[in-house]
Chain A
Amino acid sequence: DQQVKQNSPSLSVQEGRISILNCDYTNSMFDYFLWYKKYPAEGPTFLISISSIKDKNEDGRFTVFLNKSAKHLSLHIVPSQPGDSAVYFCAASGNAGNMLTFGGGTRLMVKP
Chain B
Amino acid sequence: KAGVTQTPRYLIKTRGQQVTLSCSPISGHRSVSWYQQTPGQGLQFLFEYFSETQRNKGNFPGRFSGRQFSNSRSEMNVSTLELGDSALYLCASSPLTSINEQFFGPGTRLTVL
Contacts and interface: CB of A to CB of B under 8 A. Distances in A.
Interface of A: 32, 34, 36, 41-46, 49, 89, 91, 93, 96-105
19 contacts: A34-B100, A34-B101, A43-B4, A43-B104, A43-B105, A43-B106, A44-B43, A44-B90, A44-B104, A46-B102, A49-B100, A93-B100, A97-B55, A98-B31, A98-B33, A98-B50, A98-B56, A98-B102, A102-B44
Given A43-B105, A98-B48, 18 more contacts: A32-B100, A34-B101, A41-B106, A41-B107, A43-B4, A43-B107, A46-B103, A97-B48, A97-B50, A97-B56, A97-B99, A98-B33, A98-B55, A100-B33, A100-B35, A100-B102, A101-B45, A102-B42
A84 to B, nearest CB: 18
Interface residues of B, number: 26
Nearest to B4: A43
B58 interface: yes
Contacts of A105: 42-43
B43 A99 contact: no
Contacts of A45: 104
